[in-house]
Amino acid sequence: AMATQQAKYLGGNNIQLYHQGLENQSKDYMEIEGELRKAMQNNELEVFYQPKVNVHSQCIESAEALVRWQHPKKGVISPAEFIHIAEDSGLIAEIGEFVLLESCLQAKQWADNGTAEITVSVNVSAHQLRHENLAQAVGNVLKTTKLPENQLELELTESSLMENLSAATALLKRLSDLGVSISLDDFGTGYSSLSHLKRFPVDGLKIDRSFIKDITSKPEDEAIVNAIIVLGHSLNLKVIAEGVESKEQLALLDQLGCDEIQGYFIAKPLSSQDMTTMLLQQKSG
Ligand code: C2E
Ligand code: MG
Ligand code: MG
Ligand code: MG
């Protein structure tokens, strides 16, 4: 009991604040944080969409919303460079809400104007799980956009869920009660106990790109991917591979029984306009 108490006391927010303190000293960090605040006011953030296709039908079933920062001087800044700063500073709450609303509006528009009925997948960060009333925010967005709940999927990482297991389990339950799908992003890279998989109400596993990269040349990677697919299917989960860049990778994933793929082989993340064009091309056959 003592050890648990101590872990509780030392963990969570205290460690978090300590890290923030250290990082806040960096000049770059402060600069980016300030610019990011301005960027939101100036509408410099834009949502791009990357298609996910069904391995068998090769049809686009969904699209992942990926935020982009169109910096007036520096050009496009990748989320890898600013999401962690947005997380530490709390700006992620606002960015997350923007991406959620924007992508639900977009999916609803595609459905209403006859372009396509697809699901949008929105990334949710650890900070959003800790601080935001995520289920309520998601419920509100579904209500305002009138997007059917089965057309929204949330991508969460295992590690963010493992941070606070009981809170995460309760949150996942509320989200799945809303009818949205949940998928575990970057699967295989975080530390997660497999026994939690059956307790989390999740719908899909997204195999991390690092396992796909050398899948056709490294038998160990193929074995890991195969194991994840078998595990996922035995738990009735949809399995998707991210970072698919070649025909050979696709063929192997198909052979292993993977359900969906996403990656440069199909398309890079596209502006909403380019994504619309791709959906219309698919529609006209
Ligand atoms: P993620 O959710 O795992 O997204 C997949 C990343 O892999 C994206 O990078 C995507 O552009 C990239 N990718 C997709 N296919 C390929 C491929 O075939 N080859 C290679 N080399 N890369 C590929 P991106 O857009 O730079 O995003 C990086 C990460 O930033 C995301 O990883 C996600 O964790 C985070 N992120 C992006 N947008 C958001 C957002 O709106 N909210 C939150 N919380 N996080 C976001
Ligand atoms: Mg993702
Ligand atoms: Mg991913
Ligand atoms: Mg990844």
What does the chain come to in residues?
285
Give the torsion through C-alpha atoms of 200, 206, 212, 218, to 10 deg. Answer: 20
pLDDT of 70 above 50: yes
Predicted local distance difference test score (pLDDT) of residue 132:
75
Q: How far is the CA of 48 from the centre of ligand 2 (A)?
A: 12
For residue 213, the ligand closest to its alpha carbon is: 1
Q: What is the pLDDT of residue 22?
A: 53
Mean of pLDDT values over 25-48:
87
DSSP assignment letter at 62: E
How far apart, in whole angstroms, are the C-alpha atoms of residue 63 and residue 61? 7
Which residue would you say has higher pLDDT here, 279 or 1?
Answer: 279
d(C-alpha 48, C-alpha 271), whole Å: 5
**Residue of the CA atom closest to atom 17 of ligand 1:** 243
Residue whose CA lies nearest to ligand 1 atom number 45: 123
Q: pLDDT value at position 279?
A: 98
Residue 66 near ligand 1, beta carbon < 6 Å: yes
> Per-residue b/e over 236-260, b at no fewer than 16 CB within 10 Å?
ebbbbbbbbeeeebbebbeebebbb
Q: Is a pLDDT exceeding 80 seen at residue 21?
A: no
Determine the pLDDT at residue 273. 98
d(CA 66, ligand 4 centre) in Å? 12
Residue 4 has pLDDT above 50, yes or no: no
> Is any atom of ligand 1 closer than 6 Å to the C-beta of 88?
no
What mean pLDDT do residues 187-194 have?
79
Residues 126-178: pLDDT tens digits?
A: 999 888 799 999 999 999 999 999 999 999 998 888 888 888 999 999 999 99
The pLDDT of residue 251: 98
CA-based nearest residue to 205, from 220, 225, 221: 225
User: Which percentage of the chain shows pLDDT scores above 90?
Assistant: 74
Q: 5: CA distance to ligand 4 center in Å? A: 34
Q: Which of 101-105, 190-194, 206-210 has the lowest mean pLDDT?
A: 190-194
pLDDT: which is higher, 55 or 166: 55
243: Cβ below 6 Å to ligand 1? Answer: yes
Spacing, Cα 95 to ligand 3 middle (Å): 18
- Which residue puts its alpha carbon closest to atom 3 of ligand 1? 186
Report how far ligand 1's centroid is from the alpha carbon of 66 (Å). Answer: 6
Given this model, what pLDDT does residue 194 score?
76
- Measure the CA–CA gap between 200 and 212, rounded to whole angstroms: 25
- Closest Cα to residue 224, out of 204, 238, 210? 210
For residues 220 and 239, is the Cβ–Cβ distance under 8 A?
A: no
CB-ligand 1 contact for 125 (6 Å cutoff):
yes
**Which residue's C-alpha comes closest to atom 5 of ligand 1?**
242
- pLDDT-derived band at 199 (thresholds 50, 70, 90) equals confident
Computed over every residue of the chain, the mean pLDDT equals 90
Check pocket membership of 212 for ligand 1, CB cut-off 6 A.
Answer: no
Q: Could you tell me if the CB of 99 is within 6 A of ligand 1? A: yes
Atom 35 of ligand 1, residue of closest alpha carbon: 79
The answer to whether the CB of 207 is under 6 A from ligand 1 is no
Q: For ligand 1, pick from 66, 249, 268 the residue to mutate: most ligand atoms within 8 Å of CB.
A: 66
The pLDDT value recorded for residue 9 is: 41
Res. 1: pLDDT tops 90: no
Query: Rounded to an integer, what distance in angstroms lies between the CA atom of residue 46 and that of residue 24?
Result: 26
